[in-house]
A = this chain, B = another copy of it.
Amino acid sequence: MRGILMEEARGTIDKRDRVLKTALRLFTSQGFHATPTSQIAREAGVATGTLFHYFKSKDELINALYLESRQAFVTSLVRGIKPEMSLKDRGRLYFMNSLHWGVEHRDMFLFYQQFANSPYIDARTRKRGVQEIGFLMEYIGDGQREGVFREMPADMALAVIESIKIGMIQYFMEHRERLNNRRYTEAAFSAIWNSITR
């Protein structure tokens, strides 16, 4: 049975966690099929048997990573959002939250990018993963009702916003020093804002 005392529990959780972290890093840098379970186990410092003790299969491992990454991302997305904020301020905060999270959780972000729509993630697991889209669809609906956004199908506006957001996360990953300079992050937000507003 899983230990209750801190010291005892840590050893156990530690190994499961080290497997997850190592797999995340290797999957994003090498791809799923190019990463053997033997390498994950070796670099995590556990035996292959231990890996399969915590995850019944390699697929279960990647699905666990997907759930963990999505949870972490969606939680960070809504941080500080208040209903009384203006449309523009809400949009800016969504963007800044995504931007900082993406850059600071590089592996998780890249994993999400690469694998969220991959066949390795089973349909049932993915189905519950549209929370983020839900937030943003509502946001776009608000903007259209207020007449602030240009005429454009809502799903096209969503595609525009999301693609710039992803592009900017990748951009700031390669220019981390600019992430704490308002001139650059605000320029990036302006690109999004102007792309869909009148």
Taking a contact as CB atoms closer than 8 A, the residue among B30, B151, B170, B192 that contacts A187 in the complex is B151
Count of interface residues, chain A, beta-carbon cutoff 8 Å: 33
- Which residues of the other chain, B, contact A164 by a CB distance below 8 angstroms? 160, 163-164, 167, 195
The yes or no answer to A85 lying at the interface (CB within 8 A) is no
| Smallest CB gap from A151: residue in B | B187
Of A31-39, A40-48, A101-109, A139-147, the one contacting chain B is A31-39
Inter-subunit contact A150/B33 (CB<8 Å): no
**What per-residue 1/0 map shows which CB atoms of A159-173 lie under 8 Å from chain B?**
110111011101100
**Known contacts A164-B160, A164-B195: does B30 contact A119 (CB below 8 Å)?**
yes
Determine which residue in A30, A33, A156 has the highest number of CB atoms from chain B within 10 A of its CB, and name it.
Answer: A156
| Smallest CB gap from A192: residue in B | B195
Taken together as a complex, chains A and B put the C-alpha atoms of A133 and B72 apart, in Å, by 34
- A binding-site residues for B, Cβ under 8 Å: 30-34, 118-119, 150-153, 155-156, 159-160, 162-164, 166-168, 170-171, 184, 187-188, 190-192, 194-197
